Amino acid sequence: MVEKDSRKTSLEEIADRHVLEILKAAARRRPRDLEILFSLGDLFTKLGYIEEGLEVDLTLARLQPRDPTVHYNLACSYALLGKKEEAFSELRKAVRLGYSDPDHMRADPDLESLRGDPRFGKILALLERRIR
């Protein structure tokens, strides 16, 4: 069974890398297409290309400065890179702009590096108060 699982993982990785190349080409042709950029940023992060994902997230933040999901994703990228100050700043901004999923924030593995910091609890409490 392990052999089948490793083949599946390998095939998934090959497929993801192929899709990544397609998305990169699409983003070059349509650099302001939000759907392409969201997909590209997510896939960069999934494949471990965190710096590249951050660059896409920064582009999205310039294109959609009032979108809470954009700032949440930006916080995740910063957290994965160990940039806590930037991550907390973007997480606060996401909540201020209307981010509304405390369960996801609480469980999101991308934010693991922030959970031990008291600021995380404060932002989560603010979010929970806002959605009541």
Q: Residue 1's pLDDT is what? A: 41
Q: Residue 115's pLDDT is what? A: 97
Cβ neighbours of 101 (radius 10 Å): 15
- pTM strictly above 0.75: yes
Each residue's pLDDT tens digit, 81-127: 999 999 999 999 999 999 999 999 999 999 999 999 999 999 999 99
The domain locations on the chain are: 66-132
Cβ neighbours of 68 (radius 10 Å): 17
Side chain identity at residue 42, one-letter code: D
Q: In sequence order, what DSSP letters do the residues of 76-95 get, joined into one string?
A: HHHHHTT-HHHHHHHHHHHH
Q: Residue 10's pLDDT is what? A: 87
Task: Report the C-alpha gap between 76 and 79 in whole angstroms.
Answer: 5
Each residue's pLDDT tens digit, 32-73: 999 999 999 999 999 999 999 999 999 999 999 999 999 999
